[in-house]
Amino acid sequence: MQIVKLPKQNLDKFIKSLSKFGQIYAPIKKDANTSLFSKIEDSSQIDLGYNRTLLPPKKYLLPPIDSMFRFSAEAGYEEVEHGVDEKSILFGVHSCDIHGLRILDLVFSGRYVDNHYFTGRKNTSIIGLSCIPDDMCFCRSMGTDFVENGFDLFLSDIDQSYLVRIATSLGDDMVRASQSLFKEVGKEEIEKHKKKSNEMQKHFKTDIELYNLPEIMDLEYESKTWEEIGEKCLSCGSCSMVCPTCYCYDVFDELSLDGKTGERKTRWDSCLFEDYALVAGGTNFRSERSARVKNRYFHKHRGFVAQYGKPSCVGCGRCIQSCPAKINVVEVITKIRSDAYV
């Protein structure tokens, strides 16, 4: 991989030069405690010191509400124009969120390819950014604290500069377009980067043990712990909405006022919602809250592993931060592990 250096004083110029490559979306500070990915009109809005955004960048690739196609009584079903050629750039994406997108890629590919998702994906370039974990981050345990592909450029903070990894030809074009802003990387910077990476490790306060977890999930399927968590959970679904790897959606038809035309749309759903598995006639395959909570963990740490070879959690800590009932994935997994070994 090619590596160059971007002195921090050149960052703003670089960001400005990027607008040629598409609309920039980057983290901004909404208030003292909240960061968001937002459309950037003016590069001074960008706040690269953020920790985690309220919603992950999935909101651009799998929008909360999205159109699947239009229909009309006369023409039947027809494709919607999704703005196919609109290029965009997600700037300042942390490693865990890049891994999150790669997990969504697994889901939307396979035997049936969701071309709408992948059109968005192809038109979105990703510029990653290194970060410093807080006490809710456990990406190290999930193996998502570093990322080797899934981005065009990746910026690692080495104090006065960024070390920039160039991963794709598009990333290379972006660098070449403002060649004068970049410098060559010397031995010194590489050493600095290694030192920084080691320092990052010291910030981790939270870990979970993944070893043998799928089997433990099986063994603890009947554990009382699920009922205890079910008692606490409010079925609000926040944990799914904020999760970079939760992809469940509901489908509904929206009629226009003329009653003849309309659109079929998707809307984020959550397996924690009471009606998630409710079918016509009133049978609910997961009517108990504890069953729904268990399903969420079981799917991420057992089911997804069986299906795709890795868990569908990247350790971003968002669900911990947003749960009004203070349910904490790290505590849940730790408890389930200890249940298995008493």
Ligand X SMILES: Cc1cc2nc3c(=O)[nH]c(=O)nc-3n(C[C@H](O)[C@H](O)[C@H](O)COP(=O)(O)OP(=O)(O)OC[C@H]3O[C@@H](n4cnc5c(N)ncnc54)[C@H](O)[C@@H]3O)c2cc1C
Name the binder of 69 from ligand SF4, other proteins, ligand X, none, CB < 5-8 A by kind: other proteins
**Size of site (CB under 6 A) for ligand X:** 2
Q: Report residue 272 as tokens.
A: 């924690």
Beta pairing class for 249-255 and 261-268: antiparallel
Footprint of ligand X on 248-287 (CB under 6 A) = 279-280
> In the chain, helix, strand, coil percent, each to 5?
40, 20, 40
Minimum CB–partner distance for residue 323 and ligand SF4 (Å): 3
CB of 280 to ligand X, least distance (A): 3
Q: How far is the CB of 141 from ligand SF4 (least distance, A)?
A: 10
Residue 335 neighbours by CB distance under 10 Å: 17
CA distances to 56, 101, 225, 330, 332 from 228, rounded to whole Å, are 29, 32, 5, 15, 10
CB of 285 to ligand X, least distance (A): 10
CB of 65 to ligand X, least distance (A): 17
1 binds ligand X (CB under 6 A): no
Q: Which of residues 258-317 bind ligand SF4 (CB under 6 A)?
A: 272, 300, 313-317
Name 266's Cβ contacts closer than 8 Å, sequence gap at least 6.
65, 66, 68, 249, 250, 251
Smallest distance, ligand X to C-beta of residue 341, A: 39
Query: By the criterion CB under 8 A, which residues form the site for other proteins?
Result: 68-69, 71-73, 76-79, 107-108, 110-116, 221, 247-253, 255, 259-260, 262, 264, 266, 269, 271, 276-281, 283, 285-286, 291, 295, 298-299, 302-304, 306-307
Is residue 68 within 8 Å of 78, Cβ to Cβ? no
Alpha-carbon distance of 24 to 12, in angstroms, equals 13
**Kindly report the CA angle at 290 between 288 and 291, in degrees rounded to 5?**
65
Q: Is 329 in the site for ligand SF4 (CB under 6 A)?
A: yes
Place of tokens 């598409």: 22
End-to-end CA distance of the chain: 47
207 to 236: interface string for ligand SF4, x by CB under 6 A: --------------------------xxxx
- For ligand SF4, the binding residues (CB under 6 A) are 233-239, 242-245, 272, 300, 313-319, 323-325, 327, 329
